Amino acid sequence: MVELVLYLSLFGVVCWCLLILLPWRPWSVREKIETQGIVDSAGTLSDITVLIPARNEGPYIRHTLNGLRAQSENLRIIVIDDQSVDDTADKAKYCGALVLSGTAPPAGWSGKLWALEQGLREVRTPYTLLLDADIELAPGIVIELQQKARNENLALVSLMAEPPMKNFIERLLMPAFIFFFKLLYPFGLANKPVSRVAAAAGGCILVETQALRSVGAFANLHNALIDDCTLATHIKRSSLRIFIGLSRAVRSHRGYQDLKPIWEMVARTAFTQLRYSFVLLVSCTLIMISMFWAAPLAFLLLPAQEAFIVSTLAWMVMFITYMPTLIYYQRSPLWSLALPVIGTLYLGMTWTSALRYWRGERACWKDRRYESNTNN
């Protein structure tokens, strides 16, 4: 048992050291777009149509639309009301958006993608901005997205929204959500044309309309749970360039009052990220146990001086790799001390996702259930 702990701790610290030495630096925050606060006054945003799929988004839709209106008066905004039973459509109309009454998704389609497919039929502009109904944009960020796309000849530009961090559970888990996402989908690799890695953040995606249609639009990913990254993959496989980055000018205002909604959000797609592979799940489990428990806590389990050295090195690298994310979101670096707990919780969410898949349980989102074997 002692030898096993020692080997796991050594493996864990090697993983941390390799992580910090990777040339594409998945732990960094260098890939980002911020706003200069420039509001469109020349009508340059008239070549963008905004599509917002919305199902029972009454508490959030007004903030989202007000943020869009602060960008420009020339934006064409289409809200696809996905059979809401609240006042989503009324609020959207009040804010001046064109509201389409969506129909029920056909078999095999997710509700969000079917709503977007219906909205895309009304798009006549060169660019389409795909925006979640709970995303608030700071003034000027859409111009920054457009300039980024034009200046660098990008077919798709996506920004990871700043998550809510108002209460304890959000401050504990949401920066780590970004951190782990960047480890799974390194932005530095996703943004390289020669790399096969592709990623996007579905809350805010600016895409060339022609490129979107050329890859089959949403019909080609109609049953995807991880629809944003699937779309980015299709775009990149068409030899088109993409970009994903962070931004504090794109904010999610859908809060999480306790652990349960965060757990459900992650468990919905965690096993999908591992391609429903038991081998990858076991590998992920061993790596996380080694990195988040054995390495940093070896000094508690083993009396040897070597264990103290391993733990010290592990904590140093953990601080170095997690600190950029914490500082970017203006959180104390001391939150790094919670990484063993954070890693354990996310591993539990991943196993929950796997167990549900093996039991044949359907994925549930927005009061709709989807067959697990179609959510790829």
Would you list the DSSP string of 63-111? HHHHHHHTT-SS-EEEEEE-S-SSSHHHHHHHTT-EEEEPPPPPTT--H
Residue range 203-215, pLDDT digits in tens = 999 999 999 999 9
Q: pLDDT value at position 300? A: 84
The percentage of the chain sitting over the pLDDT mark of 90, rounded to a whole number, equals 85
Looking at this protein, which amino acid is placed at residue 27? Answer: W
Residue 200 has pLDDT above 90, yes or no: yes
Pairwise CA distance, residues 289 & 285, whole Å: 6
Sequence-distant (6+) residues with CB within 8 A of 352 are 263, 267, 270
Would you list the DSSP string of 187-247? HHHHT-TT-S-----TTEEEEEHHHHHHTTTTGGGTT-SSHHHHHHHHHHHTT--EEEEEE
Mean pLDDT is lowest, of 105-109, 221-225, 280-284, 320-324, for 221-225
Rounded to the nearest integer, the mean pLDDT of the chain is: 93
Q: pLDDT value at position 39? A: 74
Token digits of residue 41: 């006054």
Sequence-distant (6+) residues with CB within 8 A of 260 are none
Determine the average pLDDT of the residues in 325-343. Answer: 97
Q: pLDDT value at position 328? A: 98
Determine the average pLDDT of the residues in 180-191. Answer: 97
Q: pLDDT value at position 247? A: 97
Token digits of residue 308: 């103290």
Residue 341 has pLDDT above 70, yes or no: yes
Beta-sheet pairing, 135-137 with 127-131: unpaired
Helical H runs in 256-333? 259-267, 270-273, 278-289, 298-301, 305-328
Q: How confident is the model at residue 370 (pLDDT cuts 50, 70, 90)?
A: low
Residue 316 has pLDDT above 90, yes or no: yes
Residue 329 has pLDDT above 80, yes or no: yes
E strand or H helix at 37 = none
Determine the average pLDDT of the residues in 77-86. Answer: 95
Pairwise CA distance, residues 228 & 236, whole Å: 12
Q: pLDDT value at position 375? A: 41
- For the chain, domains (ranges, CATH) are 2-27+261-374 (no CATH), 44-258 (3.90.550.10)
**Residue 265's closest CA among 138, 117, 164?**
164
Determine the average pLDDT of the residues in 149-174. Answer: 97
Determine the average pLDDT of the residues in 97-117. Answer: 93
Residue 373 has pLDDT above 60, yes or no: no
Between 193 and 36, the more confident residue is 193
Residue 126 has pLDDT above 70, yes or no: yes
Residue 304 has pLDDT above 90, yes or no: no
- Residue 162 · residue 248 · CB < 8 Å: yes
**Residue 57: CA atoms inside 13 Å, Cβ hemisphere, count?**
26
Polymer length in residues for the chain: 376
Tell me the backbone φ, ψ of residue 327, rounded to 5 degrees.
Answer: -65, -40
